[in-house]
A and B are shown apart, each in its own frame.
Chain A
Amino acid sequence: MKDVEITLTVNGEKKKVRVSPKESLLHVLRDKLHYISVKANCYRGECGICTVLMNGFPVKSCQVLAVETDDADIVTVEGLSKNGEPSLIQKAFIEKFGFQCGFCTPAFILAGHYIVENMPDATDEEIKEVLNGIVCRCTGYKQIIDAIKLALQWKKEGKS
């Protein structure tokens, strides 16, 4: 099949891209639009490293066909900082040492961002449920969970 032109919004900016059915959303974001915060590992939907927010929900971008993303609204970590100011969840990850090698970090930050925006009263168990789909091999998850809890608390306290 010939390439088709799709329009998608990434981090608030409208982008027109030519894509082929061979590509996934992951390829579009990394290779065509150069959002390199989107990482990948398994290309099988098992590791969760390529998670992005699509239409507000965390999804694994390797599992999304590029051709089905016409009109999609995507958020990557590049889109979280506002005017150079890191978002709450990013500040919390720094404060709580919620990252080590950094390769899975963008996926966890986006999952954390989803929690902060949508699950204000999330319990530890609910946080873990969101994180279960993303693999981290360095941190043992605790400092990631601590960071998300801190961001939730900050949000409640009205910090921005």
Chain B
Amino acid sequence: MSIKRDKAQVLWREYFPDFDYYKPKTVNEALELLNKLKNDHAIVLAGATCLSRNFRARKFEVKHVIDLKGIPELRGIKYAEGEGLRIGPVTTFHEILKSEAIRKKYTALWEAAKQYGDFELKFRATIGGNIAKSSPQNDSSPPLLVHKATLTLASVEGVREVPINEFFTGVTENVLAPNEIITSINVPEPPENSRSGYIKFRRSAEDRAVVGVAALVSNPGDRSKRIIRLAYASIAKTPVYVKEAEEIFRKEGDINSLIDEAINAAYKYVDLPIGHGKRGQDLRASKEYRMHLVRVGTKAILKKLIEGVEVF
């Protein structure tokens, strides 16, 4: 066999790499800074729950860290009846759980926040960080997908609004430009008579999603007004919105057949990426079991939202 030349394996570290730390006080200050440093290994920091680990793993080179936690305008939850919800990206999951509006109107997001991470993590981890990390296991994304959220992205060049369904492009990859940050998460007023929910399959009381399923249901019994939306975590390279489901549920026929059809549509997305495993398979589950959970989870969440039956 051939001879290989390798850097020694450092199996873990206590210390972060050396970097310059900035804590801007306004969005403009942050954007200027990021624009200046964007080509020099700059990274934006929020709760640091994930970045602190990646820093120690030396996952990437980092020279500049821009901490957004000092910017008041990026924090907080605003809900106005009829107008919808705006969440600052540096809002922690702890704060999301305290919001009555989210619990009542955007239940899937509240349930995802409840099941995301652990109690101690929720005081630090932020929803913007969770989205920007763009892990396929993001618990917050499937609820935002079924609620058709958009993200406001800002840079020195301007502001744009991107539907969250178009935000994720790959494992920990998204459409954010190197000089761009998320400045707001915008969720429209939910459809009339709607309910949403999130089921997370995990291996213990504290685990990332093996599969996560979010659904939003409105007027299930009335085909003319019926809206059913489905989204998933941890089944593919990105959080997945099954857009085909919207159409399927508008069709005629027995609701259970339609659900099966929607599940088949979801199956087509099951494809976990290189770096985390083979197609559909990673260390958490085989493709077969993952598809099984997509099936069980979809039926269970709809059973809950339509009939009020708690399956798990």
Interface on A for B, CB 8 Å cutoff?
Answer: 1, 4, 20-24, 27, 40, 43-45, 48, 51, 54, 57-60, 62-65, 67-68, 111, 128-134
Contact = CB atoms under 8 A, between A and B. Distances in A.
A68 B118 contact: no
Given A1-B18, A24-B52, A43-B56, A130 B65 contact: no
Interface of B: 12-21, 23, 45, 47-50, 52-53, 56, 65, 67, 69, 94, 117-121, 123-124, 205-206
A151 B243 CA distance: 51
Contacts of B47: 63
Contacts of A111: 119-120
A129 B104 CA distance: 21
Given A21-B65, A43-B12, A133-B119, A64 B20 contact: no
Given A62-B52, A64-B124, A65-B21, A21 B16 contact: yes
B15 A51 contact: no
Contact of B14 (A4, A27, A60): A27
A51 B69 CA distance: 20
A65 B14 contact: no
Contact of A133 (B48, B52, B65, B118): B118
Given A27-B14, A130-B119, A132-B118, A63 B21 contact: no
B206 A133 contact: yes
A59 B65 CA distance: 21
B120 A60 contact: yes
B120 A21 contact: no
A130 B122 CA distance: 10
Contacts of A21: 16, 18-21, 65
Nearest to A4: B21
Contacts of B121: 45, 60, 63, 133
A62 B55 CA distance: 12
A57 B94 contact: yes
A62 to B, nearest CB: 7
Given A65-B65, A68-B69, 16 more contacts: A21-B16, A24-B52, A43-B13, A43-B14, A45-B49, A48-B120, A59-B124, A60-B124, A64-B52, A65-B67, A67-B21, A68-B21, A68-B23, A128-B205, A132-B205, A133-B117
Instruction: Give 7 closest A-B pairs by Cβ, nearest first.
Output: A133-B118, A57-B123, A133-B120, A63-B52, A22-B15, A67-B21, A1-B20
B122 to A, nearest CB: 9
B53 A44 contact: yes
Contacts of A62: 52
A51 B19 contact: no
Contacts of A24: 16, 52
A4 to B, nearest CB: 8
A44 B14 CA distance: 9
Contacts of A45: 49-50, 52-53, 121
Contacts of B18: 1, 20-22
A65 B70 CA distance: 14
A51 B121 CA distance: 10
A43 B57 CA distance: 10
Contacts of B53: 44-45, 63
B120 A58 contact: yes
B17 to A, nearest CB: 7
A7 to B, nearest CB: 15
17 contacts: A21-B16, A21-B18, A21-B19, A21-B65, A43-B56, A45-B52, A57-B94, A65-B45, A65-B48, A65-B67, A111-B120, A130-B119, A131-B119, A132-B119, A132-B205, A132-B206, A133-B118
Nearest to A44: B53
A121 to B, nearest CB: 17
